């Protein structure tokens, strides 16, 4: 099992941050470089039909070693890390036999991982925890999942006595910017169903997620000398403040949980002449999701009536939808993963994702794709960590899923 950790450490050394502003596919050249190296590795461990295209999608197969026809199962991970925090020069640190006390990530900068703030740490007393050094994220989202998939495939190659049907592997770029499935060819992949290894703590099993939209709001002002501005100046920053005041104050990430949706202001910049804001809009319930988008449109209409036509310009786009609708007809794929966890000694934690995965969009593209834990916590920042034992257990769960799939008939 040390292979999965060594592989993870190798992967996080490579900077693969995606860029939401590039307009390219992949959004960063480092992802394509990583994809090519990964394809070489997949070939070297014995997988077949290994491909990597110009957009950095990697696909591979492990042929069936049984005579009966069973479903083709796939495993999917993404290679990119979030642009929310630096993913360059990652230097993982190991905390062995964790004692339940605070972990000093960076003494010079006084950056500390504390159980008072992150009580989930206490679940891993006595285990080995991999942390950041306080200056970067860790990259467990999703290089932990990627490491686990590749390690499980290598194990099956090295143990041909283990019966299994055909298995497909896919690695996507740009998941963190919502574009991971944009150029995913489901028919080329050829799986009947798949699992993303992109969940959080050990035991997580998810087949519900947010409906999601992005919204860019541009506010056009008018700059006039402030000494002569009466009835002439139009301060775009104050109009932006007015826009924000018309959103429900408590329906933001820091005040919501479970199935509660939110509006999240991600970025704002402006001067008197022009202000720009970027939001994400989230809700599990589709009707409430549509109401949230409608509120944005009504605010824009109201402000344009007050301040003049085209003062506020809205560019709003749907990103992905709740996969539950597509998973319900094939709930057996969830049962396979749930039973696999139980048989591996893992208690399933079935919950809705307060976010999204490639699996959400892939499910709408015809590939049912629930999400399985990869083991990490506190993604997208310097407090990210992953327990070694959780990663090792994820490999076991993948192998158990494979075992269980070869015992069912192809539908």
pLDDT digits (tens, 9 = 90+) for 259-288: 999 999 999 999 999 999 999 999 999 999
Q: CATH 3.30.70.360 occupies which residues in the chain?
A: 211-320
**Is the pLDDT at 1 greater than 70, yes or no?**
no
pLDDT at site 297:
98
Instruction: Determine the average pLDDT of the residues in 326-354.
Output: 96
pLDDT at site 88:
97
CB 368 within 8 A of CB 333: yes
| Residue 377, CA atoms < 13 Å, CB-side half-sphere | 22
410 pLDDT band (50/70/90 cuts)? confident
Distance, CA of 397 to CA of 172 (rounded, Å): 21
**Is the pLDDT at 62 greater than 80, yes or no?**
yes
Averaged pLDDT of the chain: 96
Instruction: Determine the average pLDDT of the residues in 354-359.
Output: 84
Place of tokens 């005041």: 245
411 pLDDT band (50/70/90 cuts)? confident
Contacts of 332 by beta carbon, 8 Å cutoff, 6+ apart: 408
Q: What sign does the CA torsion over 379, 382, 384, 388 have? A: positive
Distance, CA of 60 to CA of 191 (rounded, Å): 11
Distance, CA of 382 to CA of 137 (rounded, Å): 5
CB 219 within 8 A of CB 275: yes
Q: CATH 3.40.630.10 occupies which residues in the chain?
A: 2-209+322-405
Distance, CA of 142 to CA of 196 (rounded, Å): 10
Q: Is 54 a known active-site residue?
A: no
pTM over 0.95: no
CB 281 within 8 A of CB 295: no
Instruction: Determine the average pLDDT of the residues in 43-48.
Output: 98
pLDDT at site 36:
98
Give the tens place of pLDDT for each residue, 139-165.
Answer: 999 999 999 999 999 999 999 999 999
As to burial, measured by CB atoms within 10 angstroms (0-12 exposed, 13-18 middle, 19+ buried), residue 100 is exposed
Q: Which of 80, 198, 283, 358 is catalytic?
A: 80
For domain 211-320, the question of CATH label 3.40.50.620 is answered with no
pLDDT at site 178:
85
356 pLDDT band (50/70/90 cuts)? confident
Distance, CA of 125 to CA of 128 (rounded, Å): 8
**Is the pLDDT at 407 greater than 70, yes or no?**
yes
For residue 372, give the nearest of 341, 406, 408, 330 by alpha carbon. 341
Give the tens place of pLDDT for each residue, 285-315.
Answer: 999 999 999 999 999 999 999 999 999 999 9
Burial code (b: 16+ CB inside 10 Å, e: under 16) for 40-77 equals ebbeebebeebebeebbbbbbbbebeeeeebbbbbbbb
Reported residue count of the chain is 411
**Is the pLDDT at 380 greater than 80, yes or no?**
yes
Instruction: Determine the average pLDDT of the residues in 340-357.
Output: 92
**Is the pLDDT at 253 greater than 70, yes or no?**
yes
Contacts of 361 by beta carbon, 8 Å cutoff, 6+ apart: 180, 181, 184, 320
Most distant CA pair in the chain: distance in Å? 85
pLDDT at site 355:
81
Place of tokens 């208690």: 347
Instruction: Determine the average pLDDT of the residues in 71-95.
Output: 97
Q: Is 175 a known active-site residue?
A: yes
Q: Domain 2-209+322-405 in CATH: superfamily?
A: Zn peptidases (3.40.630.10)
Percent residues over pLDDT 90 in the chain:
95
Kind plus residue range of the DSSP H or E element containing 339: helix 332-343
Instruction: Determine the average pLDDT of the residues in 330-340.
Output: 97
For residue 37, give the nearest of 18, 6, 71, 10 by alpha carbon. 10
Instruction: Determine the average pLDDT of the residues in 319-346.
Output: 96
Q: Which of 166, 175, 179, 384 is catalytic?
A: 175
pLDDT at site 271:
98
**Is the pLDDT at 409 greater than 90, yes or no?**
no
388-405 helix and 332-343 helix, angle to the nearest 10 degrees: 130
């Amino acid at each position: 099992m040390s292979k999965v950790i060594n592989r993870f450490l190798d992967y996080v050394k490579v900077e693969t941050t995606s860029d939401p502003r590039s307009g390219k596919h992949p959004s960063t050249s480092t992802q394509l470089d990583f994809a090519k190296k990964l394809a070489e590795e997949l070939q070297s461990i014995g997988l077949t039909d290994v491909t990597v295209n110009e957009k950095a999608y990697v696909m591979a197969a492990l042929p069936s070693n049984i005579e009966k026809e069973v479903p083709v199962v796939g495993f999917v991970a993404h290679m990119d890390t979030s642009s929310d925090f630096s993913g360059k020069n990652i230097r993982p640190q190991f905390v062995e036999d964790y004692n339940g006390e605070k972990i000093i990530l960076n003494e010079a900068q006084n950056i500390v991982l504390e159980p008072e703030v992150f009580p989930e740490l206490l679940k891993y007393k006595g285990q080995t925890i991999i942390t950041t050094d306080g200056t970067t994220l860790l990259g467990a989202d999703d290089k932990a999942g990627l490491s686990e998939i590749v390690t499980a495939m290598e194990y099956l190659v090295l143990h041909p006595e283990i019966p299994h049907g055909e298995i497909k592997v896919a690695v996507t770029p740009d998941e963190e910017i919502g574009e991971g499935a944009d150029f995913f060819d489901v028919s080329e992949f050829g799986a009947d169903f798949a699992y993303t290894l992109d969940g959080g703590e050990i035991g997580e099993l998810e087949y519900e997620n947010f409906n999601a939209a992005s919204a860019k709001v541009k506010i056009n002002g008018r700059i006039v000398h402030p000494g002569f501005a009466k009835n002439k100046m139009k301060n775009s920053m104050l109009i932006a403040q007015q826009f924000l005041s018309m959103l429900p104050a408590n329906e933001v990430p820091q005040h919501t949980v479970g199935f509660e949706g939110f509006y999240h202001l991600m970025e704002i910049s402006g001067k008197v002449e022009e202000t720009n804001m970027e939001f994400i809009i989230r809700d599990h319930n589709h009707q409430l999701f549509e109401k949230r988008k409608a509120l944005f449109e009504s605010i824009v209409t109201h402000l344009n009536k007050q301040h003049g036509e085209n003062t506020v310009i809205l560019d709003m786009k749907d990103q992905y939808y709740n996969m539950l609708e597509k998973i319900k007809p094939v709930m057996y794929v969830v049962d396979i993963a749930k039973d696999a966890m139980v048989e591996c000694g893992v208690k399933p934690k079935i919950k809705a994702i307060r976010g999204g995965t490639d699996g959400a969009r892939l499910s709408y593209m015809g590939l049912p794709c629930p999400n399985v834990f990869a083991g990490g916590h506190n993604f997208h920042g310097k407090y990210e960590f992953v327990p070694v034992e959780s990663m090792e257990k994820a490999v076991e769960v993948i192998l158990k899923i494979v075992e269980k799939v070869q015992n069912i008939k192809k539908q």
